[in-house]
A = this chain, B = another copy of it.
Amino acid sequence: MAANPDKHKQPEAFPAPDPPRAGETAKLWEKTRFVGKPFPRVDAYERLSGSAVYPADVRLPNMLYGAILGSPHANARIKRLDMTRAEKMPGVRAVIGGTVPEANPAWHYRQGRPAMEVAGKLFDPHCRFEGDAVAAVAAENPYQAQDALRAIVVEYEVLPFVADERKALQPGAPLVHGEGNLVQTDRYQRGDVEKGFAEADVVLQETYRSACELHTPMEPHGCVANWERDRLTLWESTQGVFAVQSGVAEILGLPLAKVRVIGGYMGGGFGSKLQAGKYSVIAALLARRTGRPVKLILPREQTYLAVGNRPPCNMRLKAGVRKDGTLTALDFSVLGTGGAYPAGGTSLVDWQVRDLYSCPNVRIETTDVYVNAGPARPFRAPGHPQGSWALEQMMDALAKAIRMDPVEFRLKNVPSGSQAREGMPPYATTGLRQCLEEGARAFGWKEARQKTGAPPGKASGEGHLRRGVGMASGLWVAGGAMPPSTVIVKMFSDGSVNLNMGASDIGTGTKTIMAAVAAEELGMAPESIQIEHADTGTTQYTRPSGGSKTVPTESPAVRAAAIHVKEQLLSIAAEALKADKADLAVMDGRVLSRSDDSKSAKIADLAGLKQRGVIVGIGSRAPDPPGKVVNPFAAQFCEVEVNVLTGEVRILRFLGAHDSGRVMNRLTYDNQVFGGITMGIGFALTECRILDASQTGKLLNRNWHDYKLPTVLDVPAEMVSLPIEILSPEINTTGAKGLGEPVTIPTAAAVANAVYDATGVRITESPISPMQLCKLLSEQLKEG
């Protein structure tokens, strides 16, 4: 990570910009003191020392431990469920299963928000995937709870299953639901694709498949549930406390005010913790039945089976291009699955093909089917890495075919206007061109490409270690705000500041960035701002932290609240100092006049503030005006070394050039880029849910030994983050676009393109496993 070391070094002292003036409400900052600099997380100590309290750390007096019995079969009907033995086991206080009248049937999937619903009945007598909830227990300790699960007698009628989406529509395939396995087919078209192909000099067609990835947050899913009379409190590991609140309230038929969800620290979700889980509702029910608090944390195996995945995707892409590099047509068809319930199996897979490049003729058909597997969930840039896997490999192949440099080829097809295509609203800002140009320059693309670059069908270089470079670009479908959001900033009588916000910090540094935004306005250090967050009882409404929308949504609200505080503070100070408010500024615990050095006061000394006790500032993030699209753009470049004897791929270096608007914290920004690339490397090289599709439908790699996450040994020694920082008030009042998802979109395709560059072998099925690579290399040798 040493390529650009000066980008990471923290300056000895922050440069002092002009102190913020009163009344500077909606203007973008021109100079900043903290925002954009690298600064450590405000909660780094707590996270590293172990003093941070996660939901699993919550221990209430008299607490019980819950556990869920999952179906061992991919498809089975429960013939008999006998819980009587379990009920008599030592320490067992409640066993539930079968029909649970307290849980509202609205639990079922409803049209309109497929990805946001936990699927199926709470305990469905027809188990449609391995791990589907059958029953649950609460006991005095976790061991007694597990013992009790084993004492529940279930007789299953084991049914034939379909675990491979490619077979789901075949005649005679077992039906996941009565009505057939087709969920839906969506079609999109612009221009005339046949005409486009006719105009092309080169037409290529290829099929691609991406494997199913499993969300693997460090912290498993779960919660602690406690009732006080008619009021439920859940300490839950979640990306969105208000989403869990509304889900649980709806299912249990409670008013929202009677469901308090407390998030606090959480150890990652990547999209799998955007809503209430069955575990949330089950914990609440067990607590209600027993009159005692219940902790229910899923074992890793159950998180792998039942709480989400990035579903597998089968894509066919046909593309036409003219010799000058102009794309003439794209025809894209997709077969995907959300598992056993409608969970957006193909959602957003189309987006790269649809909008990344300027192409007049585009046809897309996506087909989503049911299979007997755990439901999908949004997974960091849902659909996008899959679409990128196809499109960006195809772009590489097209460039090769017309003998054009892949970067040049992409630049040729960057939409020329400020919008994706005619008739669309304009982008607030668009940095795709700069990502490509500046990224290529910083990476040394041309030089590196000259050194590698195998002829088609040939591994480049001599010996068994072959080097190659590859790149890919991408856009994220959204990256603007998802209002509404309301935050409160309060200044105590000594000038110290507390920030209340509803958003979760899912590990990305949200708290740190929001502290910096408030600090910027209030002239104080970010770490001195105390934050309470993610609690439906005491913080204000916001949407879940996801969709790369947290910073663009929350930061303008925090800024507005801080300005609201500042305005009130300056009014108090203006009176005390007999000064013109507009002439006053706040800096380092003082209010000072810009024009008169004698007029200055310590905030802690202001009698007017003491009298009020506190200044409360409210800031809201209103919806964006229509007619504006905020998208982040990206281009990533990498160099790999392939061992053509073993099929191992070593990634030597990676560069991510990202247009995500303003850099809020250079340290966490770079961390996001490196983290997203690392996750993309997992998608490219190792991660793959393996179902025993022929015999049992069961998950074969259900632990961290068998499911291969990239570790620090898989990460390139050199990673560079290159922000393409285009500031514009069109984005919002802080200028930040989303970053969390774009950083993982083009990664895998860039790796595949680099492997091709190194070996001449095109790997269209993820992951690029040594076995697959060896097989293709040996085929190449045979053909060669």
Contacts and interface: CB of A to CB of B under 8 A. Distances in A.
B257 A46 contact: no
B257 A528 contact: yes
Assembly stoichiometry (copies): 2
Nearest to A249: B494
Interface of A is mostly: mixed
A256 B494 contact: yes
A537 B528 contact: no
A532 B541 contact: no
A189 interface: no
A486 interface: yes
Interface string A546-576: 0000000000000000000000000000000
A529 B51 CA distance: 34
Contact of A484 (B51, B52, B528, B611): B611
Contact of A46 (B61, B229, B535): B229
Interface in A612-626: 612-614, 616, 618, 623
A255 interface: yes
B61 A59 contact: yes
A209 interface: no
Size range of the interface on A? 35 or more
Contact of A538 (B61, B528, B538): B538
A229 B538 contact: no
Contacts of A484: 611-614
A498 B530 contact: no
A61 B57 CA distance: 7
A231 B496 CA distance: 12
A380 interface: no
A724 B295 CA distance: 51
A498 B229 contact: no
A200 B386 CA distance: 102
B46 A228 contact: yes
Contact of A614 (B61, B493, B540): B540
A234 to B, nearest CB: 14
A540 to B, nearest CB: 6
A737 interface: no
Given A229-B45, A229-B51, A537 B258 contact: no
B542 A537 contact: no
B532 A537 contact: yes
Contacts of A500: 537-538
A539 B542 contact: no
B542 A255 contact: no
Nearest to A589: B255
Given A257-B528, A498-B537, A616-B618, 10 more contacts: A51-B227, A231-B530, A256-B492, A256-B493, A256-B496, A257-B530, A484-B611, A486-B614, A500-B537, A500-B538
A-B CB proximity, top 10 nearest: A255-B496, A538-B538, A257-B496, A541-B614, A541-B613, A256-B492, A45-B229, A257-B530, A532-B537, A257-B498
